[in-house]
């Protein structure tokens, strides 16, 4: 596969440029460390003094060193027992930020006629808010069980099953991408998938255009577009300007 350094911090592999954004009909994003700046599970664990322990598992999972993502997530969620909803609210308001270029890229995609999917191994507490904040069309993520208690309730350390299944792992991300594409009446080749960790690889492999954003090496090596520095909106640099609808300043 031929790797092209399109600009500093931006590589393409195995594709011919320029592409047309309007030729694609769906873009799917991972959330943690892709659309947003944090790993939510790690920050939630910080509220009960277990951030280092949880972050080590998260890092290994993102590098692809843990084969069973579902088990690793259940292990991490079990350590969140006792975190209050008030604690989680503080994480959202004080620690969570959109990554640079997130709003600009989502806006450009919507203006070019694409639908937007947020599919995450994170939690509905955060994905529901990001979905509303950015005007995203579809979202799927994991549901934390909450029991009544002070400070708006607290986490039990368990996940709840949802209508579609139990845990949104790599296989579920891929299935969600394909299900939404089918719902929209489009082909997988008309989809873009962007992520940073190993559990994003299945959906990235199914999409016509895979994008690694500040990603782990194993993810970067398999992606057709690699954003190694700068914001999410650097993706727009691989598309012809007339297909992106909006004007933007160059980040090169």
Alpha helices in 84-166 (DSSP H): 85-90, 102-111, 124-134
Out of 30, 42, 87, 233, the active site residue is: 30
d(CA 184, CA 28): 13
DSSP assignment letter at 135: T
Spatial separation of the C-alpha atoms in residues 179 and 64, rounded to whole Å = 25
Q: Which of 32, 42, 169, 196 is catalytic?
A: 32
Going by C-beta distance under 8 Å and a sequence separation of 6 or more, which residues neighbour residue 89? 152
Of 1, 24, 2, residue with least CA distance to 235: 24
Rounded to the nearest 10 degrees, what angle do helices 102-111 and 124-134 cross at?
60
Catalytic residue list contains 179: no
Task: Say whether 30 is catalytic.
Answer: yes
Please list the active-site residues. 30, 32
């Amino acid at each position: 596969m031929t790797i092209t350094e399109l600009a500093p911090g931006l590589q393409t592999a195995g594709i011919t440029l320029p592409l047309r954004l309007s030729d694609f009909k769906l873009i799917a994003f991972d959330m943690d460390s892709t659309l947003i700046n944090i790993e939510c599970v790690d920050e939630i664990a910080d509220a009960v003094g277990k951030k280092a322990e949880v972050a080590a598992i998260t890092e290994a999972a993102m590098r692809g060193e843990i084969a069973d993502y579902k088990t690793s997530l259940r292990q991490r969620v079990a350590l969140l027992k006792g975190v209050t909803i008030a604690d989680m609210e503080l994480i959202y308001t004080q620690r969570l930020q959109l990554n640079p270029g997130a709003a600009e890229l989502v806006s450009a995609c919507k203006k070019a006629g694409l639908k937007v999917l947020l599919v995450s191994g994170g939690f509905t507490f955060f994905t529901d808010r990001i979905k509303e904040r950015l005007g995203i069309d579809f979202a799927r993520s994991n549901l934390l069980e909450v029991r009544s208690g002070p400070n708006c309730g607290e986490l039990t350390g368990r996940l709840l099953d949802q209508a579609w299944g139990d845990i949104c792992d790599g296989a579920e991300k891929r299935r969600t991408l394909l299900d939404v594409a089918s719902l929209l009446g489009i082909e997988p080749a008309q989809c873009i998938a962007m992520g940073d960790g190993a559990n994003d690889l299945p959906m990235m492999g199914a999409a016509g255009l895979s994008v690694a954003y500040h990603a782990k090496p194993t993810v970067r090596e398999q992606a057709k577009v690699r954003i190694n520095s700068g914001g999410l909106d650097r993706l727009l640099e691989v598309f012809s300007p007339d297909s992106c609808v909006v004007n933007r300043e160059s980040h090169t």
